[in-house]
Amino acid sequence: MYTQSLSIPDGDAKGPRKVENPEYLAEFNAKIDAGGFIEAKDWMPEAYRKTLVRQISQHAHSEIVGMLPEGNWITRAPSLKRKAILLAKVQDEGGHGLYLYAAAETLGVSRDELTEALLSGKAKYSSIFNYPTLNWADIGVIGWLVDGAAIMNQIPLCKCSYGPYARAMVRVCKEESFHQRQGYDLLLQMMKGTEEQREMVQDAVDRWWFPSIMMFGPHDKDSVHTDSARWGIKRISNDDLRQKFVDATVKQAEVLGVSLPDPELKWNEARGHYDFGVIDWDEFWNVVGGHGQCNVDRLAARNKAWDDGAWVREAAIAHAEKMAERERQAA
Ligand SMILES: [Fe+2]
Ligand SMILES: [Fe+2]
């Protein structure tokens, strides 16, 4: 690991961090090239900082909004065991959002700014959470495919160049692994059940397969955030991650006994990978643009939660003020 620290002064939002100095930039680049971590107080180019704020906050929003499609099923889980598992998973996602908002805050943005961007609809979050959960098997398929795709995306982030983000991802990935397994386990159990249960699983797989592989984002040739690779934030490209996910998932589908809804999906001996059909990017951009089946509901639910929680925030502030006043009087 690269241990030499930058000889430049600590940055803050108004201080040296904002100065574009060729010497600072050379040191920053050297650290990135050596595979080192950039820490919150290190100098960084403004574009690097902005890219991270955008990526980490979108990630945080995705975790928080991602609680909604599954939270919807907690009261309808078919057994106590499944209810306890689902509760734990949805709570984990809330925790992931909190680690990530905290990581974003180290870059000089406030939690309030980030929340406001989400609630006003200005900020983006993963398009996958704008699809509805229609039957109980959707909960299993989300764990298997959606959390599975998230793991593929997030494992390389444990080694990304920004220290606070990388460290947050280590714990997130461990929890995502539990999410993926509980989903697969739920589906295995349903597949051993009745014909109706097997049909529910197949129906859920048919609806979630393509949205899941869209989660890796546009094809590399159409992707605009190329600096991310140069800076060591995104170490594996969208298309390579998607291919890894497809290759891993086809075998899991066989074990499960479901078919994936893509007639063009087949092993390509020459490439050593599975080929797959054309992704409907119009659908993807439509959902990203706010016109998916659930975009309006998701934002309404987040806004309602924020408004309903106003009294908690007010009480916390009043409590903090009271404690500070007591300390002043004691002194
Ligand atoms: Fe998560
Ligand atoms: Fe998860």
Q: Per-residue pLDDT averaged across 286-303, rounded? A: 93
For residue 185, give its domain range: 22-292
C-alpha 40/C-alpha 22 separation (Å) is 20
Please tell me the number of the ligand nearest to residue 172's CA: 1
Summarised one tens digit per residue, pLDDT across range 88-144 is: 999 999 999 999 999 999 999 999 999 999 999 999 999 999 999 999 999 999 999
Q: Name the residue among 294, 123, 131 with its Cα closest to residue 210.
A: 131
pLDDT(251) > 60: yes
Q: Is residue 186 part of a domain?
A: yes
Give 94-115 as a 3 state SS string: HHHHHHHHHHHHCCCCCHHHHH
CA of 203 to the centre of ligand 2 (A): 22
pTM given for the model: 0.90
Give 223's pLDDT tier (boundaries 50, 70, 90): confident
How many domains does the chain divide into? 1
| Mean of pLDDT over the chain | 92
CA of 234 to the centre of ligand 1 (A): 18
Summarised one tens digit per residue, pLDDT across range 34-80 is: 999 999 999 999 999 999 999 999 999 999 999 999 998 999 999 99
Q: Is residue 143 part of a domain?
A: yes
CA of 105 to the centre of ligand 1 (A): 19
CA of 179 to the centre of ligand 1 (A): 8
CATH code: domain of residue 255: 1.20.1260.10
Q: Which of 25-34, 142-151, 217-226 has the lowest mean pLDDT?
A: 217-226
Percentage of residues in the chain having pLDDT higher than 70? 93
Q: Is residue 50 part of a domain?
A: yes
Q: Is residue 317 part of a domain?
A: no
Q: Is residue 113 part of a domain?
A: yes
CA of 173 to the centre of ligand 2 (A): 8
Q: Is residue 321 part of a domain?
A: no
CA of 81 to the centre of ligand 2 (A): 18
Q: Is residue 84 part of a domain?
A: yes
